[in-house]
Amino acid sequence: MSNKLRVQELKDELAKRGLDTTGLKAALVARLDEALEAEAKKDDKASDNGASSKVEDKSTVVDKDDEKAAGKKTHARDDDDDQAAQAAPKRVKLEDVDNMLVSELKDTLAEMGCSTAGVKAALKKRLKEALKAADNGTTSKDKDKDKDKDKAIVTDGNDAVEDKKMVTTSKKGRAVLDPQLPDHIKQNFHVIEDDKEVYDAMLNQTNVGGNNNKYYVIQALEEDGGKSFFLFTRWGRVGAKGQQKLDPQSSRSHAKCSFESQFYQKTNNVWQSRAKFEPVPGKYTWLEMDYEDENAKQDQPDDVIPKKPRGPSKLKPEVEKLIKLICNINMMKQQMTEIGYDAKKMPLGKLSKSTILKGFEVLKRIAAALESKASRSTLAELSSEFYTTIPHDFGFKNMSQFVITDAPTLKRKLEMVEALGEIELASKILKPQDDDDDDPAYGHYQNLKCKLEPVPMDSADAEWIKEYVSNTHAETHNSYSLEVDQIYEVVRENEDERYKPFAGEKNRMLLWHGSRLCNWTGILSQGLRIAPPEAPVTGYMFGKGVYFADMVSKSANYCYTNHTENTGLLLLCEVALGDMRELHNSDYRADKLPPGKLSTKGVGATAPDPAQFKTLDDGVVVPMGKPKSGSKAGSLLYNEYIVYNTAQIRMRYLLVTKFNYKNWSSAWQEAKAYNFISAWRRGDSEQPLVGNARLVIGLRFRILL
Residues linked to residue 265 through DSSP beta bridges, in sequence order: none
3 state SS of 161 = strand
Cα distance between residue 472 and residue 481, in whole Å: 11
| Burial grade of 135 (CB within 10 A; 0-12, 13-18, 19 or more) | middle
193 is an active site residue: no
Gyration radius from the chain CA atoms: 30
Nearby residues of 235 by Cβ (< 8 Å), 6 or more positions away: 78, 79, 80, 214, 215, 216, 217, 242, 243, 244
Given the residues 467, 640, 670, 686, select the one marked as catalytic: 640
The closest alpha carbon to 558, from 677, 695, 657, 450, belongs to 657
For residues 664 and 509, the answer to whether their CB atoms sit within 8 Å is no
Taking 3-state DSSP, the helix, strand and coil percentages for the chain, each rounded to the nearest 5, stand at 40, 20, 40
Cα 593–Cα 599–Cα 600 angle in degrees, nearest 5? 85
Neighbours of 251 (CB within 10 A): 14
Residue 659 belongs to what H/E stretch? strand 649-661
For residues 137 and 231, the answer to whether their CB atoms sit within 8 Å is no
The closest alpha carbon to 134, from 111, 158, 116, 156, belongs to 111
The closest alpha carbon to 181, from 153, 141, 207, belongs to 153
Cα distance between residue 517 and residue 330, in whole Å: 12
Which residues have a catalytic role annotated?
A: 640
